[in-house]
Structure 1
Amino acid sequence: MNKYIKIALVLILFLLLFVVRSVSSELFYDPLVVYFKNDYLYKSVYNVDIWRLTVNMFYRYLLNSIISLSLIWVLFERKDYLKFSSFFLMIAFMILIVVFVFLIRDNFQSGYLLPFYIRRFIIHPIFLLILLPAFYYQKLSNR
């Protein structure tokens, strides 16, 4: 792939990650944004439609994952990296969403920090920040 096309695609994909973040409040149902912004220390979690929240978190995770996988492909152009990342993102989502749903159903009785950070891992492409340096290191060590 041409160097300039690759740079343009990387910039566009990073810009798409920012766009997803900026329009997320209009696109996705997430009442916990207001909860974690204001009164999480003083109030318990009010009624949350768990099913709707889970589905919307899945859509947001899927959108971020597709952009992240595209970014990994543009940067490294290796199918094994793409397969590993896909599998890793899928397993991570399944584990995190199960724990998150249990914590919501428990009304955060064990505290708010664990659900806050689990939600953060689900709705933001944090795993991309882990995978990119790992693949870069792998690429450098294979030379």
Structure 2
Amino acid sequence: MASQRARKDYEAALAERDARIAELEGQIAETAKTAESAEKLRAEMDELRSRGEEQRVSFELTMAGARNVKAAMALLPDYGNDIDKLKEAEPWLFSASAPTPTGATGRPNAGAATDAGATLKRWRKIAGLDDGDKEE
């Protein structure tokens, strides 16, 4: 009888142990998922930081008058990532002045002064209205 009771106690202890192992495995799996998610987020954050820094340097090179931003970015590490040192050492890579913005179409800006009177006169002529018919 004592051996049967010992067996039951032993089996209960084993069942309790197995339940605790299953609980710990679940916690480990959850932690692994969380760690995996955190690692993915860290990687994404690092990528965004890297792209942001690259865009910042690209913008600064453009503002410094770099003729070829890609070439300037490739040479920049050789000069300690200092744009002024790069500009001094490689003047051929930079234009004399910073780029001036130009329109894509070559047409005047929308707010530029134009001879609107001539345009109106032309359209009045096309419409068959002559200047004598104007209502005042």
Q: In which range does the TM-score fall when normalised by the shorter chain?
A: 0.3 to 0.5
TM-score by structure 1 length?
0.31
Structure ranking higher on relative contact order (CA contacts 8 Å, 6+ apart) = 1
Flag the structure with larger Rg. 2
